[in-house]
Structure 1
C-alpha cells in the first residue's frame, strides 16, 4: 500500500480508501470480512457519511471495538448533505450530523470531517466559521470538502489564511479516467482539466469518489449493452469507449486489466491522490490493491485520457 499526508491528520493515509455503503451492522460477518481484507491489503482509511444511514457506521464501530484498532484507522465523516427541503449548511445540522456519526461509530472523533455539498448562497467565511468549533473541541482533526468547485475551495482557504482559521486540507470530487456526461447525482462535482491544473498548482490532496467509474472498465459494459440506465446516462460516450479501448490495450502490455489501469490513472496524478473504492468482496479489495503496482508514465496518462 502507498500513503499520502493530509495536514492535520497525524498518520499517513492509504491511497486506497474503503467505502462504507456496502457495510451493515445487520451483516457483521460479511462486513468484518471485507474490512479485514482491506486492512490486510495495507489500507487504513474508511469513508463514511451521515446521509448513508446508520448501518454502515455501526458496522465500522462494532468492528473497531472488536479489533481494538481505532487509533490506527483514519475515519472520514461527511455531513450537512441537503435534504428534501434544501441546503442544510447550518451549525445545528453540522453539529447534529457529526455528533450522530460519532455515536454510531463509537468514537470520540473523526480524523477528517467533510462538508458533503456546498451551499453557494452562503459565503465561504460564514461556512468556515461554522467548522472551527468541532475542530477546537477535538471532534475532528482536519477539514475537507466534497463536491465543491476549486474556485470556492480557493476562496475558502484564502479566507482562512487571512483570518487565522483552519481551512480545507483536502478535496473530494469525482476523478476517473471515464469522464461523466453529466453529474451522477445532483450537486456532484467531477474534476476537469482546470481542476486538475489547480490541484497541480496547489498540491491539495484529492480523494476521488467513483474513482473506478462505477465499474465502467471491468468489461461488464459495452456500447450494445444498455440495461443499466445510469451507466448509459453518465458514462456512455464514444470518448469513454476509446478510453476503455486504450486502457485495455495498455493493460495487455503491462500484464494487468483495464480496471486496474483506470484506477492507476487516478493514483498517478502529479499531486497527492487517494481513490475511494466500493469493493463488494475481499477478492475485489485485493484486485484494487494490485493497481498500486501498476506504473504509469506522464505520457501514458495523457494518452489514456485522449490528450495525445
Structure 2
C-alpha cells in the first residue's frame, strides 16, 4: 500500500480507502462489515469514510460496532464522517452551528468513538454564513471531536471564502475536499481546484472513482445486475444519467485498452485516479471480499499507465477540462 499526506497536513492516508456509502446499514450488516473492514485493514487501508446521512445513520452504527468487535487500535485508523443531512427536523440539516455540533455528537455516539479523524461539510449550505460554519468546525476541533475539517462538493470559490474567513479570524481552514472524480468527471479536480493545491495545500479524498459502477463494465443499456447500486429504486435518476448511450459507448471503447494491459477495467479506472498526485486517497466500495481483493490490486496497474496509454484513454473520453493540467 502507498500512503500520502492529506494535503498539507501531517496525516498520512492509504491511497486506496474504503467507504460505507450505499452498502453499510442496508445490504451490509455487522458480520459482513467485519470481514470487509478486516480485509481492507490487512491490505494496508487505514482510511474509512462515512456520513451521518448514509442509511439514516445506520452505516455509522454498523462501522462503529464492527471496529469495536475487531478491536483494531484506534490510532491505526483514520475515520471520517460528514455533516449536512441529519434528520427531518428543521434544524437537523445544513451547516448551522447548532446542527454541526449536535450532528457531530450524534455521529460519534453511533460510531462508538470519542473522535473522528476527519469531519466534512457534506455539501455547501447557502443559507448559513460561511463564517458561522468555519467557527463551528473549529469548535469541533477544539473539543477534540475531530482532528481536521474539510468540505465535500464545494466550489473553489466557496473553499477560498472559507479560507479567507479562517485566516482573518486566526482559525483553521478546510484541509481537504471530497469531490467526485473519475474518467468522466474531471473539471473540479483538474481545473477549478488547481490554484487551491499550492495556495492552501488542499488534499482530496475522492469518491465515485468508478462512476457509480459504470467503469466496471458490468452495465449495458439492457442489463443492470439486480444486486447493483443502479438497480435500486432510490437511484433511478442516477441510473438514467449514468447509463446514457454515449457513456456506455465510451466504456466499450475502454475495454480493449484494459484487455491489452491484462487488467480488469475497474482496476484501470482506479489506477487512473490514483496517478493524480493531488489525490490523497481514492475511496472504494465493496460488498464482497473478492471485490476488496480486486480493488487493492489496482496499485499494480500504475506502472502500466504510460503516456501512450493515457493518450489513448483521453482520445476516447475527451473529458479533460479546458484549464491546462498534466498529472503524468
- Does 2:21 match 1:23? no
Cα 1:242/1:297, change in 2 over 3 Å: farther
Classify the secondary structure of the residue corresponding to 1:42.
Answer: coil
1:91 maps to which residue? 97
Residue pair 1:199, 1:205 contacting (<8 A) in 2 also: no
Give the CA deviation at 1:285: 0.7
Cα distance in 1 between the residues matched to 2:125 and 2:207: 20
2:162 maps to which residue? 156
RMSD, matched Cα? 2.8
Decide which of 83, 86, 101 is 1:79's aligned counterpart.
83
Classify the secondary structure of the residue corresponding to 2:151.
Answer: strand
Cα distance in 1 between the residues matched to 2:299 and 2:237: 28
> Which 10-residue stretch deviates more, 257-266 or 289-298?
289-298
2:203 maps to which residue? 205
Residue pair 2:217, 2:251 contacting (<8 A) in 1 also: no
Residue pair 1:264, 1:292 contacting (<8 A) in 2 also: yes
Equivalent runs, 1:186-205 vs 2, <5 Å: 191=188, 193-195=190-192, 197-198=194-195, 201-202=198-199, 204-205=202-203
Cα 1:170/1:300, change in 2 over 3 Å: farther
Decide which of 252, 255, 258 is 2:259's aligned counterpart.
252
Give the CA deviation at 1:47: 0.7
Residue pair 2:124, 2:153 contacting (<8 A) in 1 also: yes
Cα 1:167/1:303, change in 2 over 3 Å: farther
* Gapped regions of structure 1 (runs ≥ 5): 181-189
Cα 1:211/1:199, change in 2 over 3 Å: farther
- Does 2:125 match 1:116? no
Give the CA deviation at 1:158: 2.8
2:176 maps to which residue? 170
1:70 maps to which residue? 74
- Does 2:276 match 1:279? no
* TM score, norm. by length of structure 2: 0.81
Cα 1:145/1:48, change in 2 over 3 Å: same
* TM score, norm. by length of structure 1: 0.86
Classify the secondary structure of the residue corresponding to 2:120.
Answer: strand
Give the CA deviation at 1:174: 0.7
Cα distance in 1 between the residues matched to 2:129 and 2:107: 26
Equivalent runs, 1:220-231 vs 2, <5 Å: 220-225=218-223, 228=231, 229-231=236-238
Cα distance in 2 between the residues matched to 1:151 and 1:299: 35
Equivalent runs, 1:95-106 vs 2, <5 Å: 95-106=101-112
Residue pair 2:18, 2:48 contacting (<8 A) in 1 also: yes
Aligned pair count reads 299
Classify the secondary structure of the residue corresponding to 1:50.
Answer: coil
Cα distance in 2 between the residues matched to 1:16 and 1:64: 19
Cα 1:7/1:179, change in 2 over 3 Å: closer
Give the CA deviation at 1:109: 0.8
> Which 10-residue stretch deviates more, 55-64 or 145-154?
55-64
